Structure 1
């Protein structure tokens, strides 16, 4: 009885334990599922679907790749709002973030009479001390205001080239500002004159690295014009400004518009300068141009406050009187008018004259009439002083019947001729004419000012001067000799090669041809011979033919690049005029070349004498060796 009771109690306890264990397991599963589902739903509501949730008992583990650290923390916070934060296990990772973008490196250098200052952000790789030392040296040892900051990031492409060029530019410019970025430099500067400005711009552009974007803003003061001169002429050849000056841009626009209405070209030149005699200058000029237009011919000249109006011979006297009368009453104060109506001359009665000509080569011939031996000697001495003793030829004869004004007119004419590159002056008893070409865009204005000042009020003169860019030294257009030097520099770096056994220029040399073409475009018309040479290997006749073909190929490549080649010739010289020993490979390589040579009267038959040489290498076999058979030494 007692044993049975014990078994019963034991079984009861075992059954109760089993039931408790099952209930506990069920409770844990229920808690896990509830926690997992609750956390997952909360994360999904927040858009964090990337997060994985796994419950293990009372613990909830979060895994997955969070896009940022902030998002990872937000996932932990969200899970902690559903279950106890202490039960949340963080097993999440964060995506690697992209490197922070480097800052924009830039610097600004300012130089003036007070010294140099530099401010900006530069890479740590830039040698700051060396840069400051260079600025200190160019400032004469004075302290440089160093306001630079540095950042430890790689220098962007083009940064060092830009900084180096800006430093060089500032060394040349006493008053300037340079703004520097990677691959770009912007320079603002002041020049003492338009000529100096043009020289600065040309020098800086030549010095700039090929891949640098350079922007220049160089200003120059307005020129002082003395006397302040305007001359407008209307004749059978059309209307034109021989000289034009204005005190403001607005006045310049009004004057050119009035000239255009009277028939002058739309691209006429008018210089804005200092020295105007009256604020009503432009009004006086407009009235003078309108008077010429109404007279349908003639000229009007203003030199400071003096106006000279000359009508064409044969104009109606009544019309002339009306125009002059209205002009006299309407001219602003301080302006004085002198008006002339020349008489009609007999075309068969040629007046005595003095003629001086200046050739493009600088030769001067003096012909015609002078008043006496003293004037002839004076004119000869003056011309030799201005143009060179060996370049003047005197052939003028004495005529004692010439007017008293003849001597100053002759000397003034020679002074005007000196302002031209080539041309002529003609002095007659009633007028002085100046014709020719010049590289100075203000030459007409300067000559008109000179004649007005030296010949006096009411003097009659005519100016027909043509401005040619190729003669302008301010534009920096190279002389023929400078063109030789520039091309020589190009071919030192990169020579002209040909494809093996042919006259086809190798693709590696096309860049060289581009550079040479750009130089020749700036040089204008040149009497140029393109010469081809080979080494001495192979038959002489075949070498000569190949050198001719290669010279012609170079000429054709220049034509394809729109270079004007009407004055160019191509000639092959074969194995003539070697520049090195043909017994060595290095010598033969040097002898295989293309030369560019200016054709001069004293060198046209001397192909070996050249200052413009392209040692055009060719590592290939010349065509003649196809017949001679292969050799170890190739043309």
Structure 2
């Protein structure tokens, strides 16, 4: 059978087509292999071994997961250098970016005479309008300047408590800056006085939420002293101060050095205050004390710019004149010196010219001695009744004419100083006002000297012998926080708090210990305390942590059941952390199973030098230089 020519042609074309297809396939495979090999080599050389390459015809498909966008882009660049970029199919991925860390939320609140301003970054979920309205509710002459920014993140733990405490603190501090963080609130403020500073610190400590740390830096301004007073005496009993004021630490050191030269053995606490009449106060005081030391006995009183030196009776006239002359020449120009050498006193046949007032420890006052007339007697009696009480004054004075003209002033000034004492005796004579007794005021002697110097005037002598006595403690005064912590530790040292095995139930034998601890804490007032629970290392760590927390909370609940003020207490379990003994022994494990009562103290403030103190400590020009226990797991 003959094969037709048409069939032969068709078969020829088919065979040729097949051969072309096979050749093309080999060519494509060659191109794919060459592209894949070159791209793979380039990626490996550039550190992109994470990328996978697959050639599909002319296409080069890249897969894999890059660490970031920059790495992915660099891999594309490397591949683009080997093959045409239009052939590259990018199917690479990037590792998902971890959640961005929440910002640190904080706020600064400033309050002064111009109003309140607040700036910082706060969570969007916070009631910002409510906070601003609270600030506007604080009495103030100015408004509230809101400079807050917000961020859409969850409130950190403790943020609400910190803001609440800051608002409370701001309401009692007219001049203050409060820095608010979720874990710490720092308060910087100025109080009106040392007493006001103590009151504010106690108030803020009592209202601190549990778990919040605070840092208090409350300063009190220097007192304004008027008149600025210093009184120094030398007599048979030795040298001493009745009053001492200084305008700077340098002046205080000058005065102290002069007092040591005069024989004062103990350091005198001079009050540093405002109101000094001259920057040369320290020099004038030093010169005056040195002059009195040279004379041997007498007194020197400085009241503002008036200096009164009274020598002892019998002082040599020549020595007196020489010392006074030198002192007069050396004193800075603003100071006026009044020097007195007392004349010998002649006895009065009619008896001593004097007025006495006696204040008994029971508060009874007896007035005796000489007064000029009936009007003066009525005036003195009325003044005494106003100062000491109308039902405690007994007047037994007599009318004697021809008394010194300044007698009423001396008597009334003496009675005013007597009111500073708990008990004592006032004696007024033509030459001197003498006050002896006991006072509950630490600075009673300084107050009396300042008052007499102001009322009596220059060249008038007075003698003070006032003993300070600590006032009795109020019956309801809270115990000192450190004493509370110490007493609780002592009780636990005698009998630790134990629990039923494996539970948070306080053992029956420890209930008496809880009663004793509650009795102590009931006397401590609003202190901040953390009740800490610990276990040994037996068992799983997570179970121990939960058990310690439950036991600490159980102790807190027991205190609440005993009506102890626990609003500022917090219970925290620490599990097997912080062992105090070896967990390999039974005794050690027993010691590690414990409850601690930890007193939370305000954060300490580093001492910094104020601008005024810095100025004071600058050297003056050369021409002006003046000389922290227990139970069963």
TM-score band, normalised by shorter chain: 0.5 to 0.7
The separation in 1 between residues aligned to 2:401 and 2:373, in whole angstroms, is: 14
Report if aligned partners of 1:31, 1:58 keep a CA contact under 8 Å in 2.
yes
Q: Could you say which residue in structure 1 is the equivalent of 2:137?
A: 137
**Counterpart among 472, 476, 480 of residue 475 in structure 2:** 480
Report if aligned partners of 2:372, 2:402 keep a CA contact under 8 Å in 1.
no
Once the two structures are superposed, the pairs formed by residues 541-620 of structure 1 within 5 Å of their partners are: none
CA 323–161 in structure 1, closer or farther in 2 if over 3 Å, else same: same
Q: Could you say which residue in structure 2 is the equivalent of 1:326?
A: 326
Q: Could you say which residue in structure 1 is the equivalent of 2:284?
A: 284
Structure 1 unaligned spans of 5+: 472-477, 491-495, 521-588, 597-635
Report if aligned partners of 2:518, 2:564 keep a CA contact under 8 Å in 1.
no
Deviation per CA, 1:290-331: give whole Å up to 9, x if none.
213334543211123322223456666654443222112222
> What is the CA-CA distance between 1:420 and the residue it aligns to?
3.5
CA 291–141 in structure 1, closer or farther in 2 if over 3 Å, else same: closer
Q: Tell me the SS of whatever aligns to 1:134.
A: helix
CA 48–355 in structure 1, closer or farther in 2 if over 3 Å, else same: farther
The separation in 2 between residues aligned to 1:202 and 1:428, in whole angstroms, is: 47
Q: Could you say which residue in structure 2 is the equivalent of 1:92?
A: 92
2:305 pairs with 1:310: no
Structure 1, 503-512 or 438-447: larger mean CA deviation:
503-512
Deviation per CA, 1:151-207: give whole Å up to 9, x if none.
211222332223223323333444544443334444455555665555445544444
Deviation per CA, 1:94-149: give whole Å up to 9, x if none.
22222222233333444455544433332122212222222333357986433332
CA 325–103 in structure 1, closer or farther in 2 if over 3 Å, else same: same
2:377 pairs with 1:382: no
Once the two structures are superposed, the pairs formed by residues 25-424 of structure 1 within 5 Å of their partners are: 27-139=27-139, 144-189=144-189, 196=196, 199-209=199-209, 211-218=212-219, 220=221, 222-223=223-224, 225-235=225-235, 239-247=239-247, 250-260=250-260, 262-264=262-264, 265-266=266-267, 268-274=269-275, 276-312=276-312, 319-341=319-341, 356=357, 358=359, 363-366=363-366, 369-370=369-370, 379-392=380-393, 404=404, 408-421=409-422, 423-424=424-425
CA 113–503 in structure 1, closer or farther in 2 if over 3 Å, else same: closer
CA 222–595 in structure 1, closer or farther in 2 if over 3 Å, else same: closer
Structure 1, 280-289 or 335-344: larger mean CA deviation:
335-344
Deviation per CA, 1:322-359: give whole Å up to 9, x if none.
3222112222335332334568999xxx9787654556
The separation in 1 between residues aligned to 2:270 and 2:360, in whole angstroms, is: 26
> What is the CA-CA distance between 1:409 and the residue it aligns to?
3.7
Report if aligned partners of 1:402, 1:429 keep a CA contact under 8 Å in 2.
no
The separation in 1 between residues aligned to 2:8 and 2:290, in whole angstroms, is: 141
RMSD: 5.0
The separation in 2 between residues aligned to 1:392 and 1:136, in whole angstroms, is: 52
Q: Could you say which residue in structure 2 is the equivalent of 1:574?
A: none
The separation in 2 between residues aligned to 1:355 and 1:426, in whole angstroms, is: 5
Q: Could you say which residue in structure 2 is the equivalent of 1:463?
A: 464
Structure 1, 12-21 or 82-91: larger mean CA deviation:
12-21
Deviation per CA, 1:447-485: give whole Å up to 9, x if none.
1121113333222223344567768xxxxxx8433549x
Structure 2 unaligned spans of 5+: 486-491, 498-505, 528-557, 566-633
Report if aligned partners of 1:356, 1:364 keep a CA contact under 8 Å in 2.
no
The separation in 2 between residues aligned to 1:594 and 1:8, in whole angstroms, is: 116
Q: Tell me the SS of whatever aligns to 1:103.
A: coil
Normalising by the residue count of structure 2, what TM-score does the alignment of the two structures yield? Answer: 0.64
The separation in 1 between residues aligned to 2:190 and 2:341, in whole angstroms, is: 48
Q: Tell me the SS of whatever aligns to 1:145.
A: strand
The separation in 2 between residues aligned to 1:236 and 1:145, in whole angstroms, is: 66
Q: Could you say which residue in structure 1 is the equivalent of 2:447?
A: 446
The separation in 1 between residues aligned to 2:197 and 2:88, in whole angstroms, is: 76
Q: Tell me the SS of whatever aligns to 1:226.
A: coil
The separation in 2 between residues aligned to 1:512 and 1:41, in whole angstroms, is: 81
Q: Tell me the SS of whatever aligns to 2:137.
A: helix
The separation in 2 between residues aligned to 1:96 and 1:148, in whole angstroms, is: 32
> What is the CA-CA distance between 1:66 and the residue it aligns to?
1.6
Deviation per CA, 1:473-506: give whole Å up to 9, x if none.
xxxxx8433549x9xxx9xxxxx99865446665
The separation in 1 between residues aligned to 2:163 and 2:371, in whole angstroms, is: 66
Report if aligned partners of 1:356, 1:414 keep a CA contact under 8 Å in 2.
yes
The separation in 2 between residues aligned to 1:179 and 1:410, in whole angstroms, is: 55
Deviation per CA, 1:533-553: give whole Å up to 9, x if none.
xxxxxxxxxxxxxxxxxxxxx
The separation in 1 between residues aligned to 2:370 and 2:60, in whole angstroms, is: 120
Report if aligned partners of 1:371, 1:402 keep a CA contact under 8 Å in 2.
no
> What is the CA-CA distance between 1:243 and the residue it aligns to?
2.0
The separation in 2 between residues aligned to 1:158 and 1:435, in whole angstroms, is: 57
Report if aligned partners of 2:358, 2:425 keep a CA contact under 8 Å in 1.
yes
Report if aligned partners of 2:223, 2:274 keep a CA contact under 8 Å in 1.
yes
Report if aligned partners of 1:241, 1:268 keep a CA contact under 8 Å in 2.
no
Normalising by the residue count of structure 1, what TM-score does the alignment of the two structures yield? Answer: 0.64
Report if aligned partners of 1:115, 1:139 keep a CA contact under 8 Å in 2.
no
CA 57–356 in structure 1, closer or farther in 2 if over 3 Å, else same: farther
Report if aligned partners of 2:206, 2:526 keep a CA contact under 8 Å in 1.
no
CA 426–143 in structure 1, closer or farther in 2 if over 3 Å, else same: closer
The separation in 2 between residues aligned to 1:141 and 1:290, in whole angstroms, is: 52
> What is the CA-CA distance between 1:273 and the residue it aligns to?
1.7
Between the two structures, name the one with larger relative contact order (CA 8 Å, sep ≥ 6).
2
The separation in 2 between residues aligned to 1:427 and 1:502, in whole angstroms, is: 69
The separation in 2 between residues aligned to 1:439 and 1:219, in whole angstroms, is: 22
The separation in 1 between residues aligned to 2:423 and 2:62, in whole angstroms, is: 93
Structure 1, 45-54 or 335-344: larger mean CA deviation:
335-344
